[in-house]
């Protein structure tokens, strides 16, 4: 049962055959304000040469209008393309260009859960993403009102979604603000790369 999964059990090993052409484009999707830009800034710091141990105060962010490309060095160079939440209607035009998907949800915002669920189901059924590993990130778990995976299980029907999906799906909980769970995101990136 998902409710009983330990964090390590949420991270099955995944190996990806990269899209033909050898690209390493990771698509980062999720509704407006869920924390995508902050996550990328944090990952950039974590993957920098000095491998920051102390993340420090969270940098400020602005809503992403359009797309935001960031290179990360995670064993090799990969590129994360964040699409602003406001771009939802045209996310699908970027599907063919990517090898993996990160899908972020604000775990402290119950009112966004049903629209997140619809968006997730839509991307999981997209032909271009049928073999793309997907990382579902429940973010903002530092907030007192966040919903745990146990609560998500009933609200989000995450077990059913995972069971029906063709893609390998991994679930993590994070706080891009205080850094909790970001090592699991890094671990997932590693698991998607060939040696």
Ligand X SMILES: Nc1nc2c(ncn2[C@@H]2O[C@H](COP(=O)(O)OP(=O)(O)OP(=O)(O)O)[C@@H](O)[C@H]2O)c(=O)[nH]1
Provide the annotated binding site for GTP: 30-37, 85, 139-142
| Pairwise CA distance, residues 174 & 190, whole Å | 17
Task: Compute the least distance from the CB of residue 44 to ligand X, in Å.
Answer: 13
Q: Of 193, 152, 190, 192, which Cα lies nearest the Cα of 173? A: 152
Closer to ligand X by Cβ: residue 35 or 168: 35
* SS3 per-residue string spanning 136-176: EEEECCCCCCCCCHHHHHHHHCHHHHHHHCCCCEEEEECCC
Closer to ligand X by Cβ: residue 15 or 93: 93
Task: Compute the least distance from the CB of residue 27 to ligand X, in Å.
Answer: 13
Closer to ligand X by Cβ: residue 19 or 81: 81
Task: Compute the least distance from the CB of residue 176 to ligand X, in Å.
Answer: 4
Here the tokens at position 35 are: 């924390």
End-to-end Cα separation, the chain, in angstroms: 32
Scanning the structure block, which residue is given the tokens 């007192």?
144
Task: Compute the least distance from the CB of residue 150 to Mg ion, in Å.
Answer: 28
**String of DSSP letters for 117-142:** HHHHHHHHT-GGGTT--EEEEEE-TT
Closer to Mg ion by Cβ: residue 14 or 34: 34
Query: What does the longest C-alpha to C-alpha distance in the chain come to?
Result: 44
Do the beta carbons of residue 82 and residue 40 sit within 8 Å?
Answer: yes
- If contact means CB under 5 to 8 A according to the sort of partner, which of Mg ion, ligand X, none does residue 80 touch? none
Q: Which stretch binds ligand X (CB under 6 A): 13-21, 56-64, 113-121, 124-132?
A: 56-64
- If contact means CB under 5 to 8 A according to the sort of partner, which of Mg ion, ligand X, none does residue 58 touch? ligand X
Positions 15 through 54 that interact with ligand X (CB under 6 A):
30, 32-38
Site residues for ligand X per CB under 6 A:
30, 32-38, 58, 61, 63-64, 84-85, 139-140, 142-143, 175-177
Interacting residues toward Mg ion by CB under 5 A: 36-37, 64
């Amino acid at each position: 049962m998902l409710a009983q999964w330990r964090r390590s059990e949420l991270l099955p090993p995944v190996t990806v055959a990269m899209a033909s052409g050898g690209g390493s484009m990771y698509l980062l999707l999720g509704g407006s304000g869920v924390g995508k830009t902050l996550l990328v800034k944090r990952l950039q710091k974590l993957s920098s040469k000095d491998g920051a141990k102390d993340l420090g105060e969270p940098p400020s962010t602005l809503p992403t209008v359009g797309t935001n490309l960031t290179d990360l060095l995670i064993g090799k160079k990969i590129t994360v393309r964040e699409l602003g939440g406001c771009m939802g209607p045209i996310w699908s035009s970027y599907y063919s260009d990517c090898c993996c998907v990160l899908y972020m949800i604000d775990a402290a915002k119950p009112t966004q859960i049903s629209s997140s669920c619809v968006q997730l189901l839509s991307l999981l059924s997209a032909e271009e993403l049928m073999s793309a590993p997907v990382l579902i990130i429940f973010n903002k778990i530092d907030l007192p009102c966040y919903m745990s995976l146990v609560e998500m299980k009933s609200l989000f029907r995450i077990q059913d979604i995972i069971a029906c999906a063709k893609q390998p799906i991994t679930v993590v909980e994070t706080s891009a603000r205080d850094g909790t769970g970001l090592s699991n995101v890094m671990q997932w990136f590693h698991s998607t790369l060939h040696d």
